Chains A and B, each alone.
Chain A
Amino acid sequence: MESTDVGLFLVSLFAGAIRCGTPIAFAALGETLSEKAGILNLGIEGLMLVGAMVAVAVQVETGNLWLAVIAAGLSSAVLASIHAYVAVGLGGNQVVSGIALSLLGAGLSGFLGRPYVGIRFDGIGAWTPPLISDLPVVGQLFASQDPLVYVCVVAAVGISLLLFHSRFGLYVRAAGEDPQAAFAQGVPVHQVRVIAVLVGGFFAGLGGAHLSLAYTHLWAERMTAGQGWIAAGLVIVARWRPAAVLAAAYLFGGLTVLHPRLQAAGVSFSPYLVSMFPYLGAILALVLATVASRGRGPILPAALARSFRGAWS
């Protein structure tokens, strides 16, 4: 009988990991797209907060969940357009602009979200898509997740396909590796980079929406508590590959949900030291990627965070 307990424990752990990792996964997927195009967006934290707040506001005001989710994505994309303007339009400093955006997003969401603080609502509930629950293992993990979890998996596959199997994705990678050469070959580098930043912002907004509508079921000021920065780290750990980004986010979610469960089971260790691992892992991955990018095949988008001021045409 004990093996069944362990099985149940693992299933609930993994299911929790997926649910907890999904907001970060959304944001990290968006950031992957943006960084692949050569634009580092450190404003994710602010973008997620705006998404989370708008999602709650629209849900409370209209009661329409899907409208809330779409509105969250769109409002974050609008905020990301500031970064697109500074980083792409003006060729300005991406680091500084991203940090400022983060602050602005936190402020805007705090200010406009004040009427919604503490309001509880049903939010997005569980939904089991047909067929999934019949699958072994996967069925148990994904059964009774909320629909945005599935959207996130589909998004990961979609972004992967977009990057590596579409013409637009080809343009994105070219713009992130060598904007001069790409421009010389007729790729509309500026437009491609702007679109990547806006879509990246949209996904950060979806991450925020999942956090507030499906995970916590409430809005609180600064409720992302650093998840946007984690997303930036996971992109590095995953070496800019969407599938690996998804896996890394789930792993991170797992670490987060593991602790209270183990504590309940009588095992005790410092959750804070465990929480460090993703960041230490990101630093290690960054060092390896940088060293490996020398002379051999590039892993880091070569033009990441470099502005390109080629002529508009």
Chain B
Amino acid sequence: MAATCNGTDDALTDSMSVPPPVIRLSAITKKYGTTMANDCVTVEAYSGEIHAIVGENGAGKTTLMKILAGIERPNSGTISIDGRPVSFRGPRDAAEAGIGMVHQHFSLVRALTVAENLALSDRGGGFLFSAKRYARVLEAQARSLGFELRADAPVWKLSMGERQRVEVLRLVLRGSRVLILDEPTSVLAPHEAEVLYAHLRRLAGEGHTIFLVTHKVQQILAAADRVSVLRRGRLVVSHEAHGLDETELTKLMVGQALPAEGTREPSKLRDDVALRVTDLSVPAGITPLGLSGVSFEVRAGEIFGVAGISGNGQDELVAALVGTTAFKGTIWSASPLDKVAYIPADRLTMGVAASLPLEENLALRRYRMPGLSRGPFLRRKAFRVFSEQLIADLGIVPSSPLLPIEHFSGGNAQKAVLARELAENPSLIVAESPTAGLDIATVGLVHRLLLEQAARGAAVLLVSEDLDELLVLADRILVLCEGRFAGVFPPDAGARIEIGLVMTGASGARREAADWGKPQGISA
């Protein structure tokens, strides 16, 4: 089953005797700049199959599925449907060929009812439209497919799970035979995920082919027929789900521990606490799970990693720490919370003022302090000196202080955010996926900066979905799962598999921080 990129394609010759796969992605390669998002990946899926595409963040799963859905075009490789090669110029072509994708961010109009939303993409019907009548027809159709649907309800009243089922139903009603779901359970509460899987099972039973892009090992093994594991853009294995166990699958996903860059020697923890979070709860809203009853301590000079699959409480934790959400419980910090340095995941909306020049973006945390201002006036010369220093220190390119930051690349915008936030010599740094989407050189720079800050004595709370990054940088790693404390681990090679299991919810027993780092991690 493993793909070979140079030439002969054995599988196609077999197709004379057995029915060809519904979908065959052959030797798909996709490059973004110098990064290989997909490196010669071959995957086949048959009618009635739930096919899980698994792998860590950045393994190339979503890219592969976007290629199948016609959203991205591969650099090389072919797609065939029922044994016939096809070529998609856009999502519309893929939709016509019966392939539909449900994205992580739904495309439903909140103010309209379910029936009205489904009517938007229904090209049939005359000029007049009765939402009531359409709703009845829809409910009947949905029932025949096993969906219970409140077709008269406006979308804003629906739960995330219900919204997702509406999206799935829309694809099915529009004649999609192949459904792609990107991280479908990341926004769902556990019981809703079970409902979704039951629906998908039933659709598969009726001959649909379903691709699931996901992290959640336990759910994959329960729901999928076949699992293709990607790692760093390459297909590791494509295997029947039956016969795999959680540990084996997790190992395939995260790879065997490679201490190449040297996991950090767990330094001796200092005694002074920089941040103490006690019984912190944030109601659902930012994500459906919220955060419940999380407690931990971060020491000065420590990089404290926070691991977990996206949407399992990290966003809530960060929002509470930087003061953008209401919470219950207590957050105690050695320095005032408005002095916290914050490196947000969403650079453009939270990190920079896009239309302002670089130098003003660099100075916006301290423009009212003496040094950059005198009385009510800004000291422009001091601005320039201050910003040129930071530009030189971090190598921000182009080094033009007056250029609006919207014209800088993502990496250089991130450097500007780091430069600005770290220039305050913060005693607590909250960094949220600080290297996502950056090139290797910048990733290295970000890592170096965070390590320097820790060495200086700052406490760093590093939220990342990239376990490798946490293992390299962190002194300890807190794992969140479904909005709850799931353990604190040392970053040694042996912890990798265990962390993987705990964060995917595969390991039933939550580690109560008993054996290691007890005084620091107190579970509620």
Contacts and interface: CB of A to CB of B under 8 A. Distances in A.
Are A and B in direct contact (Cβ within 8 Å)? yes
Interface of A: 164-171, 173-174, 177-178, 180-182, 184-187, 296-298, 302
B164 to A, nearest CB: 14
Given A170-B112, A173-B111, A185-B117, 12 more contacts: A165-B128, A165-B130, A167-B126, A169-B129, A170-B131, A173-B112, A177-B110, A180-B107, A185-B121, A297-B156, A298-B111, A302-B111
B111 A178 contact: yes
A187 B120 contact: yes
Contact of A168 (B106, B127, B156, B157): B127
B129 A181 contact: no
B125 interface: yes
Interface in B140-158: 154, 156-157
A166 B154 contact: no
A235 to B, nearest CB: 17
B123 interface: yes
A170 B111 contact: no
Contact of B107 (A170, A177, A184, A298): A184
A298 B120 CA distance: 19
B382 interface: no
B160 to A, nearest CB: 15
A188 to B, nearest CB: 11
Interface residues of B, number: 23
A182 B116 CA distance: 11
A184 to B, nearest CB: 4
A186 B123 contact: yes
A170 B129 contact: yes
B119 interface: yes
A127 B128 CA distance: 32
A168 B116 CA distance: 12
Chain B binding surface, main DSSP class: loop
15 contacts: A168-B127, A170-B119, A171-B120, A173-B111, A174-B112, A177-B112, A178-B109, A178-B111, A181-B107, A182-B120, A184-B107, A185-B109, A296-B156, A297-B157, A298-B110
A286 B121 CA distance: 32
Nearest to A187: B120
Given A173-B111, A182-B109, A166 B156 contact: no
B120 A186 contact: yes
A170 B110 CA distance: 13
B71 to A, nearest CB: 11
A171 B122 CA distance: 11
B110 A167 contact: no
B110 A302 contact: yes
Contact of B109 (A168, A177, A297): A177
B423 interface: no
A165 B156 CA distance: 21
A181 B116 CA distance: 13
Contacts of B131: 164-165, 170
Given A182-B109, A185-B107, A296-B156, A167 B129 contact: yes
Interface of B: 106-112, 116-117, 119-121, 123, 125-131, 154, 156-157
B204 to A, nearest CB: 25
A296 B110 CA distance: 10
Contacts of A168: 127
Nearest to A184: B107
A178 B110 contact: yes
A177 B109 CA distance: 7
A178 B109 CA distance: 6
Nearest to B124: A167
Contact of B121 (A166, A173, A186, A296): A186
A167 B125 contact: yes
A35 to B, nearest CB: 14
A170 B156 CA distance: 17
A165 B115 CA distance: 13
Nearest to A180: B107
A77 to B, nearest CB: 21
Contact of A181 (B108, B126, B128, B154): B108
A297 B127 CA distance: 27
B128 A297 contact: no
A169, A170, A171, A302: which has the most chain B beta carbons within 10 Å? A170
A173 B126 CA distance: 18
Given A165-B128, A166-B128, A168-B127, A174 B110 contact: no
A296 B154 CA distance: 10
A168 B111 CA distance: 16
A171 B120 CA distance: 7
Contacts of A182: 109, 120
A199 B110 CA distance: 26
A301 to B, nearest CB: 8
Contacts of A302: 110-111
B413 to A, nearest CB: 22
A261 B120 CA distance: 51
B268 to A, nearest CB: 48
Contacts of B116: 170, 173-174
A186 B111 CA distance: 17
Contacts of B108: 181
Contacts of B121: 185-186
Task: For the complex of A and B, list the 8 residue pairs with the smallest distance between their C-beta atoms, beginning with the closest.
Answer: A184-B107, A185-B120, A298-B111, A177-B111, A167-B129, A185-B121, A181-B107, A178-B109
Nearest to A295: B156
